[in-house]
Amino acid sequence: MSADHELIAHLTPPASPSHAPRRLPQSWLGLVLPLGLLLLAELAVRVGWLASHLLPAPSDVLQALQELAHQELLTHIAASALRVAAGFMLGASLAVLLGAWVGLSPLALALLNPSFQALRAIPSLAWVPLLLLWLGIDEAPKIALIAIGAFFPVYMGVASGFRDVDRKLVEVARLRGLSRVALARRVLLPAALPAVLTGLRNGLSLAWMFMVAAELIAASRGLGYLLTDGRETGRADIVLAAIVLLALLGKLSDGLMAAVEARALHWRDSFGASP
């Protein structure tokens, strides 16, 4: 047996990770603080330390949610979720196209990036009067505002994702004679994917925020409308119920994006990723 074959003999593929005894996942630790605060709030209201019209007890908020569930809660949730979906799709689609162009073309970078960076600095609410003037008070200005909110994080992620692709990997592809299309599809896109997905995830979070801003201004349905309605009728329990729903829906959509990200990027060798 040659010296090389001696070495070869102990090169074996890595084994699948063994299944260690299961312990309580650390993510459960995240529940300790909110549950503790909920118990404290319930106690503080019940013994009279806090006025219930300012901070309703969690059980009252739950009751408000049950009442809403018998009325139009699903309509409000659906209205908000559809606005987020439409605005996010519109903003993210444009951002992916323009971000990819800016990331891949020095000409587009020079032409568009300074303007986008300037537009990015404008506070979201500054757009509202203009959108109302241009698009009225129906669905269009709300979706446009959400699209603006989603656009910039996605644009930044996609543009920087493509711009920052490792030159050394591109060289390997060029050496193998890949066409421009094949280079984009087989190297640039997968290499940029982590930044693209991070941008999409951030964009979706901002879409929920901008949805609330849009519905606070002019809406007759949606979770933002529930917030306004609760304030105007002095129902803090409804305001808190809407906030809880926003948190749950935001967490749910972010969880879905995180699952997509984890599945698409399972190959990534990063801190915290299992081998």
State the minimum distance, in angstroms, from the CB of residue 254 to another protein.
23
Rama region for 48: left / alpha / beta (φ>0; ψ in -120 to 50; rest)? left
Cβ closest to another protein, residue 69 vs residue 182: 182
State the minimum distance, in angstroms, from the CB of residue 158 to another protein.
17
CA atoms 201, 243, 64, 47: torsion sign:
positive
Cβ closest to another protein, residue 11 vs residue 118: 11
Cβ closest to another protein, residue 53 vs residue 268: 268
CA atoms 233, 74, 35, 256: torsion sign:
negative
State the minimum distance, in angstroms, from the CB of residue 178 to another protein.
8
Q: Which residues contact 253 (CB under 8 A, 6 or more apart)?
A: 84, 204, 208
Three-class SS of 40-86? HHHHHHHCCCCCCCCCCCHHHHHHHHHHHHHCCHHHHHHHHHHHHHH
State the minimum distance, in angstroms, from the CB of residue 18 to another protein.
15
List contacts with another protein (CB under 8 A). 3-5, 7-8, 11-14, 168-169, 171-177, 182, 186-187, 190-191, 193, 267-269, 273, 275
Cβ closest to another protein, residue 16 vs residue 115: 16
Encoded tokens for 138: 């129906």
Cβ closest to another protein, residue 72 vs residue 166: 166
Q: C-alpha 3: how far from its chain's center?
A: 54
State the minimum distance, in angstroms, from the CB of residue 262 to another protein.
14
